[in-house]
Chains A and B, each alone.
Chain A
Amino acid sequence: SYVLTQPPSVSVAPGQTASVTCGGNDIGTKIVHWYQQKPGQAPVLVFSEESDRPSGILERFSGSNSGYTATLTINRVEAGDDADYYCQVWDDSSDQWWFGGGTKLTVL
């Protein structure tokens, strides 16, 4: 299996920058995708390393990936960003798809 480790929670004040990390073995060699999920709703892609920013997703969301950690950065955080965030990769060695455990972002 391929384990993706995310912090359970992150808190940030409105207008500040939030960083959500996703750790995995040599994750820097993989393509990482990030989803936002609000209660009772399906996940929504907010950032992917392999495609243009999804339609409707603001430029406030960006990502980086190197070594053993990928990071989703949310600039100028708004109340509406309060949600769960999941990282996701496809592991070519096992042809399996993996999600991180999720991070609850709280906007203070």
Chain B
Amino acid sequence: QVQLVQSGAELKKPGASAKVSCKASGYTFLVYFMHWVRQAPGQGLEWVGMINPSAYTTSYAQKFQGRVTITRDASASTVSMELNGLGSEDTAVYFCARQSKGRFHFDFWGQGTLVTVSA
């Protein structure tokens, strides 16, 4: 069965970087695009960016351009998201989400990783 297992919670200081990973299993890793979506405490969902693991191309939300990098390690079936220049407004749960093949919705999600930014 499809599983997306994310790395554990992180506590970071303002200005630091956070890197969250998402290990995929149960399907052919390179075939499906992977996205990152975040959710600040008590707030809604916000798209961060995505990667095409096969072509190794990425697309980012304009809001995060220049501050976020999404990478993949095909040998480990893992996608990672690194966010730089953290501020308190980046405190959120970060989810990885698989895009349904040939479609424009997300069919499987990771469990979420809380990133807390605090001095």
Q: Do A and B actually bind?
A: yes
- Give the residue name and chain of the A residue nearest to B110 (CB): A42
Residues of A within 8 A of B95 (CB): 42-43
Interface residues of A in 78-102 (CB under 8 A from B): 86, 88-90, 94-102
User: A51 on the interface (CB 8 Å rule)?
Assistant: yes
Residue in contact with A45 in the complex, picked from B59, B106, B110, CB distance below 8 Å: B106
Q: How many residues of B contact A (CB 8 A)?
A: 22
What's the nearest-Cβ distance from chain A to residue B70, in Å? 13
- Contact (A102, B109) CB under 8 Å given A1-B62, A97-B50: no
**In the assembled complex, A48 has its CB within 8 A of some CB on chain B:** yes
A100 touches B35 (CB 8 A): no
Q: Which residues of A contact B118 (CB under 8 A)?
A: none
Task: Report if A45-B105 is in contact (Cβ < 8 Å); known contacts: A51-B100, A96-B61, A97-B50.
Answer: yes
Nearest chain B CB to A28's CB is how many angstroms away? 16
Interface residue tally of chain A, by bracket? 20 to 34
Knowing A42-B95, A96-B62, A97-B35, say if A86 contacts B45 (CB, 8 Å).
yes
Knowing A99-B47, A102-B44, A102-B45 touch, does A48 contact B112 (C-beta < 8 A)? no
Tell me, in angstroms, the Cα distance from A48 to B103 when the chains sit together. Answer: 10
Task: Report B's interface with A, CB cutoff 8 A.
Answer: 35, 37, 44-47, 50, 59, 61-62, 95, 97, 100, 103-107, 109-112
Interface residue ranges, A against B (CB under 8 Å): 1, 31, 33, 35, 37, 42-45, 48, 50-51, 54, 86, 88-90, 94-102
